[in-house]
Amino acid sequence: MKTPSHSPEGPGGPGATKAARANAGARRPTPKTVRVWDLPTRLFHWLLALTLVGSVVTGSIGGGAMVWHFRLGSLALALLVFRLVWGLVGGRWSRFASFIYAPGTVLRYLRGGQRPGEHLDVGHNPLGAGSVFAMLAILLVQVGTGLIADDEIANVGPLNKFVATATGLAATAWHKNYGEAIILALVALHVGAILFYRLRKKTDLIGPMVSGDKSLDGAAGDVPPSRDDTRTRLLALVLALAAAGVSLWVMRQGA
Ligand code: HEM
């Protein structure tokens, strides 16, 4: 009886027979490139990251830099309004519906179990989704408390005149202390988790947030991509301009 040919490098290695290599190829289909993050989501993400860094720096400097702190706050509001709408009408994997997971799914993901047809690692996985929602929520609270804040020296948020003095002062305390600390902790966790995936799990999440594409193996490669064509980008532009309009209108209430 003929013994099967085994190569020390594995069935597809250089020492394997042609047939063994063909079989190995059939078992390991070439990964497919899938557009996961549409351009508007990527622009939103990197602009939000820059805005956050700028806001922390200008807030720490204070004085004349507060003019920029207010401008960046206005930009953050516009970005968040845009993302809330994009979460409803944006690309397949940017929609909130694609990354709202039941607690049971999160627990199963943590235990390493995925059901057939469940593509938990294509968009935001159940752990990442939690951090995304937490960051969006705390950033909204940070912008909201900034809008009604009053530092009793020189800086008053544009909506401060609509709230009681005590509310404005409580908002200021939150904005400057807990709010900023929680955001910095969440961002540190966020970046730490991404580095963990890169170093320990050999999974690059940053590349897809830059190029938009993920290289997906097996059944995961058959998922529908996020739409990211001229039409959706124009829609995003219109929504971004509308979000900027909303933000400017809010900021003008203080005039
Ligand atoms: C500095 C402030 C940052 C904030 C506020 C922030 C916030 C966010 C948010 C809200 C998302 C969800 C994107 C969406 O669905 O719209 C996200 C995803 C992501 N961020 Fe950041 N981010 C920050 C910095 C960074 C940095 C420095 C990196 C790179 C090291 C990074 C890499 C990523 C990646 C790779 C994803 C996608 C994660 C996934 O595949 O699920 N972020 N970030």
pLDDT tens by residue, 98-120: 999 999 999 999 998 888 888 89
| C-alpha radius of gyration, the chain, whole number | 24
Amino acid in position 116: P
Q: How confident is the model at residue 24 (pLDDT cuts 50, 70, 90)?
A: very low
Fold of the domain spanning 32-252: Fumarate Reductase Cytochrome B subunit (1.20.950)
pLDDT tens by residue, 146-187: 999 998 888 999 999 999 999 999 999 999 999 999 999 999
> pTM of the full predicted structure?
0.89
* Residue range 200-214: mean pLDDT, rounded: 96
Q: Output the residue whose Cα is nearest ligand 1's atom 36.
A: 209
Residue 219 structure tokens? 């059944």
* Residue range 64-84: mean pLDDT, rounded: 98
Angle at 77 between CA 162 and CA 58, to 5 degrees: 95
Quote the ligand 1 centre to 206 CA distance (angstroms). Answer: 8
187 lines ligand 1 (CB under 6 A): yes
Rounded CA gap, 80 and 16, in Å? 55
In the chain, domain spans: 32-252
Q: Output the residue whose Cα is nearest ligand 1's atom 23.
A: 49
Closest CA to 41 of 221, 182, 183, 214: 214
235 lines ligand 1 (CB under 6 A): no
Looking at every residue in the chain, the average pLDDT score rounds to: 90
Residue 224 structure tokens? 């529908």
Maximum average pLDDT range among 23-27, 107-111, 181-185, 214-218: 181-185
Q: Output the residue whose Cα is nearest ligand 1's atom 21.
A: 45
The pLDDT of residue 12? 38
51 lines ligand 1 (CB under 6 A): no
* Residue range 140-147: mean pLDDT, rounded: 98
Q: How confident is the model at residue 198 (pLDDT cuts 50, 70, 90)?
A: very high
